[in-house]
Amino acid sequence: SRAHKPGHYSAYPQERRSPKRVWRYTAAAGCLLLIFLFATSSPVPTAKDAAQHINPFGPAAHQPPAERNSTRRGEARWYNHWKWLNPFSDTITEDESRSVLPPPPERRPIYAYYNPDAAKDNGVKAAENRLLLIWRRAWWAQGFRPVILGKAEAMHNPMYERFQVRKMEHALGAEFMRWLAWGQMGTGILANWLVLPMGPYDDHLLSDLRRGEYLKLTRYEGLGGGLFSGDKTSIEAALKEALDSSDLKESKSLLDLIPSKTFSVDPKPSAITFYDSSTIAEHYKTVSASLTDSKAAGLFSLSELITSHLQLTFLNTFSSGISIPTPHRSRSIIVQYPAIALANALVA
């Protein structure tokens, strides 16, 4: 028989590790890894910490409106001249690779300030969100662009630092935050989110507000602090006067700090309604009692009341009814079903 020469590994045999020793090394390495991860990780936040730091980056702020004749519509930017009146041309926009339509008619912005309080329960928040949605829909139907402002816009105002070092009542501070947010956005209309249009589209005040010519800071008789209009310069001047007032600590309303000559007071409008506490207590006692018993239920009742008022305003404006064209009744009746259902819903 043929003899085999011993190989290198047979001449110098190595010690083989037992399976038990391998498992021990693996378990030790795993324990060391877990100890390292726990030592370097941050402590687990409690429910209280999570409530205080729901959004560590802060709320997003709206950008002020772009200047006229230098507009930016979505991803398409138009030149300053009026050549954009020629539609379907790729030489009119700065996006040369495509053609776009001319920008739609501009809607004047109307702002409302809303600061959700963390202490409110879910029922109150849901009712307030319902009222905010009604407010946005009502003003949009009248040709405006409703925008809800918050604390983020106020903090971006350059005068916010001056406001922080002033001592004042809590209610006055909330009113200052509202005006700071409006001043950051600039020229436009500031309304309470319980101020709603209750008139026809061609009402003289609504038409005047849609033109966007706010030559002076204006408030309206009978609405208190519910509705203002003005340009950016007038808003900033009024804020400076209020912050520099010597009665800042004792005052409870921002209107008391601004000289009366700063405002131009217009007559009480007939097409705008402010559902403030005094109006509700005087004219809608059932809703007022509901607000006293439960704020969430009261706000929900108020939203139902405002919706019914908006529908009555619509029906009074179009008192002749709703017409549905039927050019080929025998052939297009199926197509008309959605229009008929919408008409029935509007008059129901």
pLDDT in tens, the chain (348 residues): 455 555 544 554 555 555 666 677 777 777 777 776 666 554 544 544 444 444 544 556 777 776 554 444 454 554 445 555 555 555 554 555 444 556 678 899 999 999 887 557 889 999 999 999 999 999 999 999 999 999 999 999 999 999 988 888 888 999 999 999 999 998 999 999 999 999 999 999 999 999 989 989 999 999 989 999 999 999 999 999 999 988 888 888 899 999 889 999 999 999 999 999 999 999 999 999 999 999 999 999 999 999 999 999 999 988 888 888 887 777 777 888 888 898 888 887
* pLDDT at 83 (0 to 100): 56
Q: Check: CB of residue 281 under 8 Å from CB of residue 235.
A: no
pTM of the predicted model as reported, rounded to 2 decimal places: 0.73
Q: Which two tokens stand for residue 307?
A: 């919706």
* pLDDT at 87 (0 to 100): 54
Q: Check: CB of residue 181 under 8 Å from CB of residue 58.
A: no
Those residues with Cβ within 8 angstroms of residue 127's Cβ, 6 or more apart along the chain or in another chain: 295, 296, 299, 300, 303
287 SS3 class:
helix
Q: Which residues of 306-334 are buried (b: 16+ CB within 10 A; e: fewer)?
A: beeebeebeeeeeeeeeeeeeeeeeeeee
- The answer to whether the Cα torsion of 273, 274, 279, 285 is positive or negative is positive
Distance CA 243, CA 162 (A): 8
Quick count: other Cβ atoms within 10 Å of Cβ 279?
15
Q: Which two tokens stand for residue 103?
A: 């920008």
